[in-house]
Structure 1
Amino acid sequence: MATYKQADYEALRRRCVELKQASWKQADIARAFGLTEGWVSQTLKTHREQGDAGLTTGKRTGAPSRLTAEQLDQLTRELAKGAEQHGFSGQVWTRPRINEVIIKLFGISYDPSQVGRLLKKVGWSRQKPARQAHQQDPQAVANWQAERLPALQKSAD
């Protein structure tokens, strides 16, 4: 199949329709433009069903979201409660964990790769967990830095 720029496809679709109306066969149209017969067939079918409006180039939107805006709001409220609130150990949210919450709340399952897209849609981003022990005592750390660390630095000299 020939390579065309996205902007050229609308003109190609229109030309395919013109040639079909001039009694060309689909195979001949495909061969003339270096297209597949399936592409030509789909173009002509779209034209039959939608008319000239079906030939225009539009942004491909993909499948509609299976969660409504209200459900997404509810999901973010639930996620804000924390992972432990939903029965997970630790406060880290992962895509599979979030998918489990979506299934539990709405009965809808997403591929984990798509959970990130949903989170981006509601303004959440990937975060790296802080590399600090959860049980760390800030006062004990300050005392160690003030008292023990200088002694260790002196002995190293």
Structure 2
Amino acid sequence: MRSRFLQLHHRTTTKLIRDKKEAEKDGAYRVAKRIHAVLLNDGGKTSGEIASLIQSPRSCVCEWLRNYEEYGHESLLEGHRSGRPSRLFENHKTTLCDIIDSGPVAYGFLSGVWTSPMIARVIQEE
């Protein structure tokens, strides 16, 4: 299969570089990595070379580049991640939020700061 390379306008490249720096500053490392892949491809790197450089699967790099070609800059941004479905019903979530807002001392803990094990215990007890 023949390698395809993006041909970005100078202004687009400048905007992507600026957005990559901003994403890194904000901690959006996945977005920065996808932008970096697009910039490397524009610089003449193949998807295999990019995958090695940024330590990501080649299939992901190909998908990022294909999405960028089709949908543009928006395709590089983070979307909604479904993840595992919640096991709590909405009314349980509301109750849990109320308990957390009132603080751990009000619930009977000695610590003034919530920890994950404490919240897990509240979920089990409620």
Shorter-chain TM range is: 0.3 to 0.5
When normalised by structure 1's length, the TM-score is 0.37
> Normalized against structure 2, the TM-score is what?
0.45
Greater C-alpha radius of gyration: 1
